[in-house]
Structures are given as C-alpha cells and as structure tokens.
Structure 1
Amino acid sequence: MSGQPDLGRADLVSMLAELTGKPVEQVPHRVGSMELAWLVHLVEQRYGTQMDLTDDQLAGIRTVDDALTVFHTCLPASADG
C-alpha cells in the first residue's frame, strides 16, 4: 500500500452521478453543500470511518478535486476499502 486510501477522483464523480442521476460525463465539477454532504456520507460508509471535517476544510471544498484533497487528509492511510 502506498499509504493513501484507494479513493480517486473517478470514485467521487461516480458518487455524484448516483446522486444527480446524470451520466458521469455530465457531472459538474463544482460541489455544492448537498453534493458535499452526499460525498462525505458515502466516503464515510465506504471506509467505515467518520471524517471530522473542520469548518475551514468544508468551506474550502468547492470542486471534486478540492473534496478529494481534503478527504485524503482525513481518511486513515491504511484504509482498505
């Protein structure tokens, strides 16, 4: 293991596609509060953990890439998925 959880950008986009009912290619890269709450919920379920995100971390998440960066800092490095 590389120490990083096996969560990638494609995983998050796929989760958002599930929420919006859109094909992956049509999922917007911007993340609103509802989308962010959905992503946090699904990632926590997938890894069996609770991410304690700070207000600053949450405020800094505006795109899928922002979410991925923050999630990687909050997930256990040994997460097996």
Structure 2
Amino acid sequence: MPGQPDLGRADLLTMLAELTAKPAAEVPDRIGSMELAWLVHLIEQRYERRLDLTDDDLAGIRTVDDALVVFRASLAAPADG
C-alpha cells in the first residue's frame, strides 16, 4: 500500500466500540492490554499484514492517539516478504 495508510482515530474508536459494545463516542481514550491486542488483531486483518511492533512500541501505547501513531508507522514501513 503506497503512501500513508488510511487509518484514522475514528477507525480505532469504531474497532474499540465493537469490543466494548459501546457507541464509538463513549469509548474511553485509555487503552489496556486487552484493547491493544484487539486493535492489533483487527489492523492486521484489515491490512492483511503482520505489524512489526517491538516491546517498546507496545509499552508506549496508552491512548487511542498513541496507538494511531504506532500503527501508522508500522503500516508505512515496508512489508516483509
């Protein structure tokens, strides 16, 4: 996928809303380990590639905005294989 991935904050909130069974507008900004695992899974499915995330990347994700920055960077990196 050339250029910046078409992943936005609203996309992440919608994905989290699926997990929490809440409207996207009511999804909290803080992300726990279960929410993070859910997001990684859905993003890998959506973009049909494995995210190459380090432990430091994962440890730095505390909010929706943190996740967006890390996921966009990972998706923008060349895919292995």
**Is TM (by shorter chain) over 0.5?**
yes
Q: Which residue of 1 aligns with 2:27?
A: 27
Q: Could you list the structure 1 runs, at least 4 aligned residues long, displaced by more than 2 angstroms after superposition.
A: none
Gaps of 5+ in 2: none
Q: Structure 1's 25 and 72: CA in aligned 2 closer, same or farther, altered over 3 A?
A: same
**Aligned residue-pair number:** 78
TM-aligned CA deviation for residue 8 of structure 1: 0.3
CA distance in 2, matches of 1:77, 1:40: 16
8 Å CA contact 1:5–1:77 kept in 2: the answer is no
TM-aligned CA deviation for residue 77 of structure 1: 6.3
Q: Structure 1's 7 and 59: CA in aligned 2 closer, same or farther, altered over 3 A?
A: same
Q: Which residue of 1 aligns with 2:51?
A: 51
Bigger RCO (CA 8 Å, 6+ sep)? 1
Instruction: State TM-score, norm by structure 2.
Output: 0.90
Gaps of 5+ in 1: none
CA distance in 2, matches of 1:6, 1:52: 18
Instruction: State TM-score, norm by structure 1.
Output: 0.90
Q: What one-letter code is carried by the residue in structure 2 that aligns with 1:70? A: V
Q: Which residue of 1 aligns with 2:42?
A: 42
Identity, % of aligned pairs?
A: 73
